[in-house]
Amino acid sequence: MSHYIDRFGELKLINPFREFWYRYENHPSALFGLLIFSMIILLFLLSPILAPYDVNHQFKDHIMVPPSWLSGGEINFLLGTDELGRDIFSRLLIGGATTISGAFLAVFMAAIVGISLAIFTTLTGSWLNRITIYIFDVLLTFPILIIALLIISIIGKSLHHSILAISIAMIPHFYKSLSNAISLEINKPYYIAAKLDGASGFTLLFSVLMPNILGAIIIHLSLSLSTAIIEIATLGFLGFGAQSLQPEWGAMIGNARSFIFQAPWSVWVPGIAIFISVLAIHLVSNGIKDSLSKDKY
Amino acid sequence: MKFLLKKLAFFFLLMVGVSVTAFIFSNYALNHAHNTVHSQTFWNESLQYFRFILELFQGHFGVVRHDGSAVLETFLLKLPASLELIIPAILLAWVLGTFLAINAILRPGGHVDSMTQILGDAMNSIPVFWLGLILLMIFATGLELFPVSGRLDYIYEIKPVTGFMLIDTLLSSKSYSGEAFFNALNHLILPVMTLTIIPLSYVNLQLRNGMKEIHNSAYIRAARSRGMSRSRLIWRHSFPNAIKPVLDGMSLQFSVLITSTIIIEYLFSWPGIGHWFLLLIKQQDFLALRGVVILIAVIILIANIATDLLNYLTNPKLRRE
Amino acid sequence: MKRQPSHSMNQFNKQYSTHLKILTTALILLTLLISACNSENKSLKSQSLVYCSEGSPTTFNPQQATSSFTLDASARVLYNRLLEINPQTQNIEPSLAKSWEISTNGRHYVFHLRQDVKFHHTDYWTPQRNFNADDVIFTFNRQRLNTHPFHYVGLGKYPMFEANGLKELISNIIKIDAHTVEFILSRKSSKFLNFLAMEFASIQSAEYANSLMDKRSQFDHFPIGTGPFKFQQYVPDTFIRYHRNDEYFGIPAKFKTLVFAITANASNRLSKLITHECDLMSQPLPNQLNIIRKSKAISLLTQTGFNVAYWAFNTHKKPFDDIRVRTALSLAISRKNIIKIIYNDGAHIAHSPLPPTMYGATIPLPILSQNRPRSIKLLKQAHWDPEFVVDIWAMPVQRPYNPDAKRMAELIQDDLTKIHVKSRIISYEWGQFLNRLRLGEHQTVLLGWSADNNDPDDFLTPLLSCHGARTGTNRAFWCDPEFDSNLRKSINSEGMQKLLYLKNAQQIFKNQLPWLPIAHSKQFLAYQNNLTGVQLTLTGRVDLSHVSRLNNSLDVANTSKKSSNTKVNLK
């Protein structure tokens, strides 16, 4: 934390939140990302109101209508319709809510389990710690997609199962990164000092440890969010995630593949949506990482 | 040497864990599929596990359910197809990434540099499957430059000797072997291009940042002021030091590469390991998956050891440990 | 710290950037060169024909096949028949039989066989003799006699042979001499010669069969025939490769290698056609037709289809044995929608099982149009259980009569929801699908039929007769004695009498509704502009033996886009 000497010659600490925000404000791409991201979140919170049509309603007279700015498009169907006559704009909004909220859910579930496990095992016994690290190292040899696919092969294909599978597959990553951060913190002088002073477990945990690893947690959370979105979309595309009735961006692209000549916009539009969302999250997480880092900006 | 031994020890330790995980996975999956309850005692199950390990050492990794072939055999048959994608992708990513990073130093802010900067950020955020689809739409069906799927046109009968199509076409005794070689190359370009982009953006980003930092650091500037030539500076000093953090991230990148390979093999109907893995998952062939998962882990761990070795060789600090 | 780059550094800069530019241009040129090298008139590519087909054949024996892609991959590529039907004139022409005589009572047919026909010489078998009468006898007795050593080999069933009643029709086959065969029929039949030109009458080698007595299953997987191409290799779901038969007795094929690139997804097929990986593509989807028509490099072959797509109710299962239920469900469906969405208007609504261009198809019968209130009323009368879930079986493959059964099932499901009927869609892999249907596991199924010739009895017998219910081709398992008697009478009569019986039969069908006939689709084949001689048979089978490529670039430039409609001369 930064400090300065005020006019009375006393040492003053800058509120860490204000400092963080000050540094973040001066990071142009991160601000831009934050703007986009908040717009996206707003769109999805409002999606049930904004979506003009029911997501599963098939307009039998308007199959594969191009987006409104192309010839043949209609203003009623802003982004066109897909092969069964469903409005892409509505599906994009609701599907985005599905994809992104699913990603949030997956990441938070994984974070809670991973972080609590990390705290518990790293702070308590040594052999428990070693074994857990070993188990998670074994799981970490596999990419997230492979573990998620293996889980789905057992529990079946559906959107909820894919969220669960990705969540489980991300736990080892959270554990590892938190475990590293915590073991670094444990050896810090102020931590040892507090312990020697006789601080109780809870005080150690919440007052000393948490504030310092919070940065690592937030960074990992934001990076995992973008990974989760892409993984959910990938599972949907491969046919192991959301099935065809559910509007999910990856599944929309997967279905659109069979109609790539007749309705290329049904491939472009959800893809661009995924791209923008993930880019926004990347920019935000890069901004957070830079703002939290110890280097002088 | 001691380094290598240490790495091998880790390898075996992890493989034990992987085999246990695979074993538990397949048992649980089969119980779940048949709606049976786990009824075996721990002792029984451990015996089963050791029998399983014994079979692994004998080379029996299981049998694929839908066509009865041996898992190990089919895996080794399909592995070259995947490697034919992965190896060129990694090489290209490094070569191009290095060039672009050096260019970023020599001409910072030039149009090549700013373009790669913007593209690099973008490429990290694009889902691989969508990127592949778009490239297919533009280059294959759009400009009609490349074919859409497969490794080789079916009219060519090439005997699989090594499993690498580029080598097998040249080794073939048929009259059209040269033609087939170019055909195989044609089929290879688009998937490799798609696969290269992800590691390329990573290598480029890391290398560029790393080299910029190093190149502006005190000792480099001191050397420059002493009149050392630029090329020597870059190749002898900045580059080797910048590589280290990139190599560190390579094992994570390799994970991403494997995932991307699975997706690209699906997109391009490329008959490699990824495509086969997806098929087994779809068929819920747990016994075969048990063996395949272990084999995939072996490949990943070997790649990790290779990266560590590379790291070790280029980093004198590690050598002194 | 800003510094002026010294002279040497400037030089290095320049050198480096030129190197970079050279490298990038070299890479791009190399890529373009590679793709260009590949599309030139290279030796093997110009002598090969690649056909993108939509499914993997279940066998190479056309006797045991009913799917169009199994027939396409075997009958006209590998084999010949005693007679052929000229697709333009519909006349019967000699093929393996050079002439024949029919006795006055119409029950004795004597065929004189060609003496110069050779069976395929491959790396798995070499023939020691030419084609002769033994081969004809083997071909038909295998299908006819349960005692024949090869009868139960392979898939073990001969659906077309049996459904057309040939088992009862042929009472004996006699070898008169090495090149003369006599068929003795149990009764007079005006259709016998037509039967001999159909795919299931493809002539196979008795000598090959004899050599395989220890491993009979090889017979249908490594086929031997007399046709313009011989089998080389088959990788399921991937490709079939054939080589030209240089000893073919007819006009030799123009290509040294023929490949069927098996691509189940229609969008992938079109992609491969566009990138020149395939020269022809089977069954473009209706909504791809606009793109094909607009493309300057691809031509489209259109033909009126001899087929029907239907929604069959398994009358052996409750509640589908109740005619009120069948009528109610049929009245709930909007067929106009289906034609628009699934076929992109490339089909006609089916008002009868018979396609409208087929002899005997009657239009002036009351037309079934969508009527939801009546549906609901009928269901109430039949005490329909609102919790009952209707199983709609939809096939996973694209067929000439139905390009997308799954989507059709979804549309039907939608229509059923509007009359408060619950339903679910069931599908299996194609081979398994057909097997389960044969066992009668389904409640309702979306299926269809493509005709082999312009014969309505031929069409109706396997689909709706009691005999068909026994052999399994009658998917509704519907057996109505009055319908059968009308059908039988129609087979034995001609002219106005025949039309009358056919009309009665169709009326009975309308009253009973064992199925809802949905549509008769058109047949399409898309191919590269530089090909000629592409044709479809009357029944929609693809015939590649006369295709050739115009190699002269001048010819290609002058070839205007062809969109030929083969008009079939219907008697």
Q: Give me the phi and psi of B192, to 5 degrees please.
A: -65, -40
Average pLDDT over residues C28-35: 73
Task: Give me C265's structure tokens.
Answer: 């997804």
Q: Which residue has the tokens 């700015």?
A: A69
The predicted-structure confidence for C475-516, as pLDDT tens digits, reads as follows 999 999 999 999 888 888 877 888 888 888 888 998 888 999
Would residue B2 count as lying in a domain? Answer: no
Q: Do B154 and C268 touch (CB under 8 A)?
A: no
Under 8 Å between Cβ of A135 and B17: yes
Whether B13 has a pLDDT exceeding 80, the answer reads yes
Rounded Cα distance between B89 and B193, Å, is 7
With bands split at pLDDT 50, 70 and 90, how would you rate the model's confidence at A287? Answer: confident
The predicted-structure confidence for C144-196, as pLDDT tens digits, reads as follows 999 999 999 888 889 888 877 888 999 999 999 999 999 999 988 878 988 89
Would residue B190 count as lying in a domain? Answer: yes
The predicted-structure confidence for C219-259, as pLDDT tens digits, reads as follows 999 999 999 999 999 988 889 999 999 999 989 999 999 99
B69 in contact with chain C, both atoms CB, cutoff 8 A = no
Q: Which residue has the tokens 């659906």?
A: C159
Q: Quick one: closest CA in A to B251, which residue?
A: A141
Rounded Cα distance between A268 and B133, Å, is 9
Under 8 Å between Cβ of A79 and A62: no
Instruction: Find all residues with CB under 8 Å of C301, minimum gap 6, and list them.
Output: C524, C525, C526, C527, C534, C535, C536, C563, C564, C566
Please tell me the total count of domains within chain B. 1
Instruction: Find all residues with CB under 8 Å of C85, minimum gap 6, and list them.
Output: C91, C92, C93, C194, C197, C453, C537, C538
With bands split at pLDDT 50, 70 and 90, how would you rate the model's confidence at B233? Answer: low
Whether A213 has a pLDDT exceeding 90, the answer reads no
Would residue B55 count as lying in a domain? Answer: no
Whether C555 has a pLDDT exceeding 70, the answer reads no
Q: Give me the phi and psi of C494, to 5 degrees please.
A: -135, 170
Would residue B143 count as lying in a domain? Answer: yes
Rounded Cα distance between B62 and C337, Å, is 50
Whether B127 has a pLDDT exceeding 80, the answer reads yes
One-letter amino acid identity for C20?
A: L
Q: Do B189 and C35 touch (CB under 8 A)?
A: yes
B121 in contact with chain C, both atoms CB, cutoff 8 A = no
Rounded Cα distance between B293 and B273, Å, is 11
With bands split at pLDDT 50, 70 and 90, how would you rate the model's confidence at C100? Answer: very high
Under 8 Å between Cβ of A183 and A122: yes
Per-residue HEC secondary structure of C428-453 comes to: CCHHHHHHHHHCCCCCEEEEEEECCC
With bands split at pLDDT 50, 70 and 90, how would you rate the model's confidence at B320? Answer: low
Q: Domain range spanning residue B93?
A: 15-28+69-320
Write down the pLDDT at residue C41: 52
Task: Give me B116's structure tokens.
Answer: 């790669």
Count how many residues are written for chain B.
321
Whether A81 has a pLDDT exceeding 90, the answer reads no
Whether A294 has a pLDDT exceeding 70, the answer reads no
Would residue B56 count as lying in a domain? Answer: no
Whether B220 has a pLDDT exceeding 80, the answer reads no
Quote the minimal CA–CA distance from C337 to chain A in Å: 7
Under 8 Å between Cβ of B125 and A282: yes
Out of B121, B133, B281, closest to residue A149 by CB: B281
Residue A57: closest CA among B87, B59, C414, B132: C414
Q: Give me the phi and psi of B65, to 5 degrees please.
A: -70, -40
Whether C311 has a pLDDT exceeding 80, the answer reads yes
DSSP string, A148-176: HHHHHHHH-SSHHHHHHHHHHHHHHHHHH
Strand ordering across the sheet containing C180-185: C97-102, C108-113, C180-185, C170-177
Rounded Cα distance between C84 and B260, Å, is 53
Under 8 Å between Cβ of B176 and B157: no
Q: Find the largest Cα–Cα distance for chain A.
A: 77
Write down the pLDDT at residue C8: 53
Write down the pLDDT at residue C365: 60
Q: Quick one: closest CA in C to B155, which residue?
A: C259
Per-residue HEC secondary structure of B33-80 comes to: HCCCCCCCCHHHHHHHHHHHHHHHHCCCCCECCCCCCEHHHHHHHHHH
C546 in contact with chain B, both atoms CB, cutoff 8 A = no
The predicted-structure confidence for C51-82, as pLDDT tens digits, reads as follows 999 889 989 999 998 788 898 999 999 999 99
Whether C4 has a pLDDT exceeding 80, the answer reads no
Q: Quick one: closest CA in C to B106, which residue?
A: C13
The predicted-structure confidence for C406-438, as pLDDT tens digits, reads as follows 889 988 998 999 888 999 999 888 888 988 998
Count how many pairs of residues, chain B against chain C, have C-beta atoms within 8 Å: 90
Instruction: Find all residues with CB under 8 Å of C446, minimum gap 6, and list them.
Output: C309, C310, C311, C312, C392, C393, C394, C395, C402, C405, C408, C409, C412, C518
Under 8 Å between Cβ of C355 and C361: yes
C31 neighbourhood in chain B, CB within 8 Å: 145, 189
C48 neighbourhood in chain B, CB within 8 Å: 155
Per-residue HEC secondary structure of C328-369 comes to: HHHHHCCHHHHHHHHHCCCEEECCCCCCCCCCCCCCCCCCCC
The predicted-structure confidence for C198-216, as pLDDT tens digits, reads as follows 889 999 999 999 999 999 9
With bands split at pLDDT 50, 70 and 90, how would you rate the model's confidence at C131? Answer: very high
Task: Give the domain CATH number at B268.
Answer: 1.10.3720.10
Under 8 Å between Cβ of C430 and C334: no
Write down the pLDDT at residue C230: 94
Whether C560 has a pLDDT exceeding 50, the answer reads no
Q: Residue B144: left (phi > 0), alpha (psi -120 to 50), or beta?
A: left
Write down the pLDDT at residue C259: 95
Under 8 Å between Cβ of C522 and C347: yes
Q: What is the helix, strand, coil percentage profile of chain A, to 5?
A: 70, 5, 25
Rounded Cα distance between A64 and C342, Å, is 12
Whether A269 has a pLDDT exceeding 80, the answer reads yes
Please report all neighbours of C, defined by 3+ CB atom pairs within 8 A: A, B
Under 8 Å between Cβ of B179 and C46: no
Quote the minimal CA–CA distance from C547 to chain A in Å: 27
Most confident residue range from A115-119, B278-282, C543-547:
B278-282
Write down the pLDDT at residue A231: 93
Whether C339 has a pLDDT exceeding 60, the answer reads yes
Q: Do A238 and B125 touch (CB under 8 A)?
A: no
Out of A137, A153, A238, closest to residue B266 by CB: A238
C265 neighbourhood in chain A, CB within 8 Å: 258
Out of B17, B126, B282, closest to residue A275 by CB: B126
Whether B218 has a pLDDT exceeding 90, the answer reads no
Residue B149: closest CA among B51, B233, B269: B269
Q: For A220-254, b where at least 16 C-beta lie within 10 A, e where not — what string?
A: bbbbbbbbbbbbbbbbbbbbbbbebebbbbbbbbb
Our CA dihedral for B131, B133, B139, B145, rounded to 10 degrees, sits at: 130
CB neighbours of residue A75 within 10 Å: 7
Q: Exposed, middle or buried: residue A28 (CB in 10 Å: 0-12, 13-18, 19+)?
A: exposed
Task: Give me C90's structure tokens.
Answer: 């519909």
pTM over 0.90: no
Write down the pLDDT at residue C12: 60
Average pLDDT over residues C98-125: 93
Rounded Cα distance between B81 and B83, Å, is 5
Would residue B48 count as lying in a domain? Answer: no
Taking all residues of chain A, what is their mean pLDDT, rounded to a whole number?
84
Whether C565 has a pLDDT exceeding 70, the answer reads no
Most confident residue range from A65-69, B285-289, C289-293, C366-370:
B285-289
- Is-cis flag, bond preceding C319, omega within 30? yes
Average pLDDT over residues B60-67: 87
Average pLDDT over residues A55-72: 78
Alpha helices in C40-148 (DSSP H): 43-46, 68-78, 133-144
The predicted-structure confidence for B149-202, as pLDDT tens digits, reads as follows 889 989 898 888 888 988 888 888 888 888 888 889 999 999 999 999 988 888
- Is pLDDT larger for residue C233 or for residue A86? C233
Rounded Cα distance between B165 and A236, Å, is 32
Write down the pLDDT at residue B232: 66
Q: Do A262 and C288 touch (CB under 8 A)?
A: yes
At residue C285, the 3 state secondary structure works out as coil
B141 in contact with chain C, both atoms CB, cutoff 8 A = yes
Rounded Cα distance between C9 and B314, Å, is 27
A20 in contact with chain B, both atoms CB, cutoff 8 A = no
Average pLDDT over residues A132-149: 92
Q: Give me the phi and psi of C523, to 5 degrees please.
A: -100, 140
Taking all residues of chain C, what is their mean pLDDT, rounded to a whole number?
85
Under 8 Å between Cβ of C268 and C282: no
Pairing of the two strands C83-85 and C48-53? unpaired
Would residue B184 count as lying in a domain? Answer: yes
C274 neighbourhood in chain B, CB within 8 Å: 141, 144
Q: Do C20 and B185 touch (CB under 8 A)?
A: no
Count how many pairs of residues, chain A against chain B, have C-beta atoms within 8 Å: 113
Rounded Cα distance between C150 and C392, Å, is 37
Write down the pLDDT at residue B317: 64
Would residue B164 count as lying in a domain? Answer: yes
